[in-house]
Amino acid sequence: MKPVRVALLGCGVVGTEIVRLLAEQSDDLAARVGAPIELAGIAVRRPDRVRHGVPRELLTTDAMGLATREDVDLVVEVIGGIEPARSLILGALKTGKSVVSANKALLAEDGETLFAAAREFGADLYYEASVAGAIPLLRPLRESLVGDRIHRVLGIVNGTTNYILDQMDTHGAGFAEALEEAQGLGYAEADPTADVEAFDAAAKAAILARLAFHTPVTAADVHREGITEVTAQDVAGAKAVDCVVKLLAICERFEDRGVSVRVYPAMIPRSHPLGSVRGAFNAVFVEAESAGSLMFYGAGAGGAPTASAVLGDIVAVSRNLVSGASGPAETSYAALPVLPMGETITRYHVQLDVADQAGVLAQVAEEFARNDVSIQAVRQEGHGDDAQLVIVTHRAPDRALAATVESLRSHPSVREVASVMRVEGDL
């Protein structure tokens, strides 16, 4: 059988692992594909760097030359970032080559351009590794659930922040302390911005929302709040109502009114399947009309898991090439509007330090009522200087909830708004 010729763009941790696996499992892969998979070349910036197990004669610094070379059938992009990755992928697609990419930032920023090019030139563009590492997630959304109507996707899609929040939950640590520990153990980078400010999770949310709702969504459409402001008090408040704070990527459909795509730290019941996702693990919970509730769980990052996802795509695309077929095209036919955060329906959990005097509860409740926010539960705790009100609202537009909190900040009976946290799941 004529081999499938693969060009690899980028050879860092993931790339090196792909090279290793392609060599080690070549017989198995050939049997599964129906043809051998051959490495045609590897584009790197620094060919002199030592890469164990990577054949030096395959290295080149001419990435575009390799990506568009005539003897290449399939281009695998593991460079990351927007450029030159975008130009290289477009170059490959335009010369009819199929592409496998792990590039969440690029897919979230400019997926439409890439998908349009793939359609136009009849090539496959697969990107399972871009969200939640090795957890099969995009293919299930794109193919298994394609006959269903997805209502909501709730995901823990960033291992670093989950590790930090888990430490805060388990040991009562503050954010700064937990971050430092995560950095020491290699779970967080020296510059943790992409993770803790939720840029990473927001890119993944955009990709998930697009697939779930057949609607174009970019990273810029995603409402994003990181975890740097999460306090020990937030976490303790969650604990008191048997919840845990998680950074959640939420893609939600509000019937035909539109979709909401957002990432923020929120309280979720410990009994929720996402509530027990510990450490740096990822999990994505999907609520669909017919399928009901589903969860996908696994390692969300790391060289080997990411390589596994890339390799799965390489095999799938290679099978398509061998059989002359192509995979399902991306559809964004539904083109639902993306709602601003203010119009998204959420719930708040608010802790207020209040003056210890008769009538405070009534005055505070009045403030919620004035904004048309209904209260589900209220708890009074402590006395004197420690007097606290803990309020959980019913569902309401986020704008009304935010306005309520804003007016409470300057309310004469409220000494301090000690904690504000959104709530997801049934509390």
- Contacts to its own copies by CB under 8 A: 17, 21, 25, 28-29, 31-32, 34, 128, 133-136, 139-140, 143-149, 214, 273, 276, 288-299, 302, 304-305, 307-316, 319-320, 323-326, 328-329, 331, 333-334
Residue 84 or 136: the one with the smaller Cβ distance to its own copies is 136
For this structure, is 204 an active site residue? Answer: yes
Q: Residues 373, 377, 382, 384: what is their CA dihedral angle, to the nearest 10 degrees?
A: 30
Amino acid identity for residue 261 in this structure: V
Residue 118 or 350: the one with the smaller Cβ distance to its own copies is 118
Catalytic residue among 94, 97, 104, 204: 204
From the number of C-beta atoms within 10 Å of its C-beta (0-12, 13-18, 19+), residue 94 rates as middle
CB of 315 to its own copies, least distance (A): 4
Residue 320 or 413: the one with the smaller Cβ distance to its own copies is 320
- CA torsion sign for 7, 10, 11, 12 is negative
CB of 25 to its own copies, least distance (A): 7
CB of 363 to its own copies, least distance (A): 42
CB of 421 to its own copies, least distance (A): 24
170: Cβ–Cβ under 8 A, 6 or more apart, which residues?
none
- Measured CA to CA, the distance from residue 254 to residue 371 in angstroms comes to 21
List beta partners, residue 80: none
Task: With beta carbons less than 8 A apart as the criterion, state whether 391 and 350 touch.
Answer: yes
Residue 97 or 223: the one with the smaller Cβ distance to its own copies is 97
Residue 248 or 311: the one with the smaller Cβ distance to its own copies is 311
Amino acid identity for residue 16 in this structure: T
- For every residue of 251-300, DSSP letters joined together read EEEEGGGEEEEEEEEEEEETTSGGGG--TTEEEEEEEETTTEEEEEEEE-
CB of 311 to its own copies, least distance (A): 3
Of all residues in the chain, what percent are helix, strand and coil, respectively (each to 5)? 40, 25, 35
Question: Is the peptide bond between 84 and the residue preceding it cis, with omega within 30 degrees of 0?
Answer: yes
Sort residue 54 into left (φ over 0), alpha (ψ -120 to 50) or beta. Answer: beta
Residue 139 or 347: the one with the smaller Cβ distance to its own copies is 139
3-state DSSP assignment of residue 148: coil
CB of 314 to its own copies, least distance (A): 6
- Measured CA to CA, the distance from residue 28 to residue 232 in angstroms comes to 50
Cα–Cα distances (Å) from 178 to 51, 160, 162, 344, in that order, read 33, 10, 11, 31
Which are the catalytic amino acids? 204
